[in-house]
Amino acid sequence: MPTGRRAIVVVCNSTDGYPSIWRKVFQEIQVAQRQLGFIQDATVPVVGRFELPDEAIEDPNDVRLWIRALPNPSVIVIDEFDRVPAGDAHRLMADTIKLFSDTGVESTLVIVGVADSIADLIAGHESIVRNIAQVQLLPMDLQELNQIVQRGYKYAQLHFDQGLDQKIAELSQGYPSYTHLLGLWAGRRALDAGRVAVTFADLDLAIEDALANAAGNLQHEYERAVASVRNEALFEEVLLACALAEKDSLGRFAAVQVRGPLAEITGKDYTTGAFQSHLAKFAEAQRGPVLKKTGSRRNYRWQFLNPQLIPYVRLHGIQAGLLRR
């Protein structure tokens, strides 16, 4: 916008470094200002032309100068920063945040990513904690997810079986993307059958649709994690038990918490020693990794690197007949 604060959003990927991230930011600024050229309202102030830097910007102070030169303050959102390889990019971003704060730059940096804490997301100065506000986004509760289903079907003028909204919320395990997927495809199944009432049978069919249309690379992550030439290898069952295991507020669980769910899935009570090697292999590059190991010997904790894989694994277990809806 020509006045007030400008909002800039860029999304990182696994090939990004510090210069390419800021190149994306400046490209977004340039595009936004070109779009202002279509404004015909004479009361709108003319904004100075922004030209992309000729060379890659690798110094945080150069970033500071370019951002300060903008005609209005900015809120710069750098999303999926956890996908950027650890190293210089993380250190330089920490330097940039501290420099913005120390020199009174009015613009705000919002770093978004999957991590246990800001220390895991950004490496740098210990004093940076004075320059940032950490906001932890927790999974949504069942009531909030219920409302997504209820409002969506109301808008589409669809009715649904009593308790269907609750079941969709439970299957989503706190992640609204799955609530949208399951609600959408269950509704489409009902309409394809010529009905305006969504049933639990439609939900059962929608699980396959949701798995096929899940965001990102979840199907590849899952298949890589459980791949085995031996039918008795139990990788699929153990990963499902990990998804069902009771977790702490950071999503961590111990091996003993996998034992109960695994017994329900397989009908056999395995000792933790029987599947400890599975957990270790899930933390190796050959299988993703899909899990991260923390803690010390005899007190290890395990955690999904991609939390959105948790509901995917559960839905896959239902589809495969390993788990009841």
The answer to whether residue 136 is domain-embedded is no
Please return the burial class of 209, using the count of CB atoms within 10 Å of its CB with bins 0-12, 13-18 and 19+: middle
More confident residue, 118 or 259: 259
Neighbours of 297 (CB within 10 A): 5
Q: What are 218's two structure tokens?
A: 């979840």
Closest CA to 211 of 189, 178, 188, 184: 178
One domain for residues 208 and 223: no
User: Among residues 190, 213, 236, which one ends one of the domains?
Assistant: 213
- Return the amino acid letter for 136: Q
Q: What is the mean pLDDT of residues 147-161?
A: 97
pLDDT digits (tens, 9 = 90+) for 76-131: 999 989 888 888 898 899 899 989 988 989 889 999 887 766 666 776 555 666 67
| Alpha-carbon gap, residue 95 to 124, rounded angstroms | 7
One domain for residues 84 and 190: no
* Residue 220 pLDDT exceeds 80: yes
177 φψ region: left (φ > 0), alpha (ψ -120 to 50), beta (else): alpha
One domain for residues 312 and 237: yes
Contacts of 11 (CB under 8 A, 6+ apart): 79, 80
List the domain range (segments joined by +) for residue 189. 142-213
One domain for residues 11 and 112: yes
* Residue 70 pLDDT exceeds 90: no
One domain for residues 42 and 22: yes
One domain for residues 197 and 278: no
Q: What is the CATH number of the domain that holds 224?
A: 1.10.10.10
* Residue 185 pLDDT exceeds 70: yes
pTM for this model (two decimals): 0.71
One domain for residues 17 and 125: yes
What's the pLDDT at 25?
93
What's the pLDDT at 40?
43
What's the pLDDT at 306?
87
One domain for residues 196 and 121: no
Q: What is the CATH number of the domain that holds 195?
A: 1.10.8.60
**How far, in Å, are 79, 150, 261, 282, 303 from residue 240 at the CA level?**
29, 29, 8, 12, 13
Q: What is the mean pLDDT of residues 36-46?
A: 43
Of all residues in the chain, the percent with pLDDT exceeding 70 is 87
User: Among residues 213, 246, 262, which one ends one of the domains?
Assistant: 213
Closest CA to 29 of 75, 89, 62: 75
The answer to whether residue 71 is domain-embedded is yes
User: Among residues 195, 213, 231, which one ends one of the domains?
Assistant: 213
The answer to whether residue 158 is domain-embedded is yes
b/e for 65-93, b at 16 or more Cβ within 10 A?
Answer: ebbeebeeebebbbeebbebeeeebbbbb
What's the pLDDT at 51?
66
Residue 193: pLDDT band (50, 70, 90) is very high
Question: Do 27 and 52 touch, CB atoms closer than 8 A?
Answer: yes
What's the pLDDT at 21?
95
* Residue 284 pLDDT exceeds 90: yes
One domain for residues 18 and 117: yes
DSSP string, 268-289: S---GGGTHHHHHHHTSGGG--
One domain for residues 23 and 62: yes
- Domain count along the chain: 3
The answer to whether residue 137 is domain-embedded is no
The answer to whether residue 324 is domain-embedded is no
One domain for residues 194 and 299: no
DSSP E strand stretches across 136-185: 159-160
Mean pLDDT computed over every residue of the chain: 87
One domain for residues 185 and 256: no
Q: What is the mean pLDDT of residues 170-191?
A: 95
For 151, how many CA atoms within 13 A lie in the half-sphere containing its CB? 8
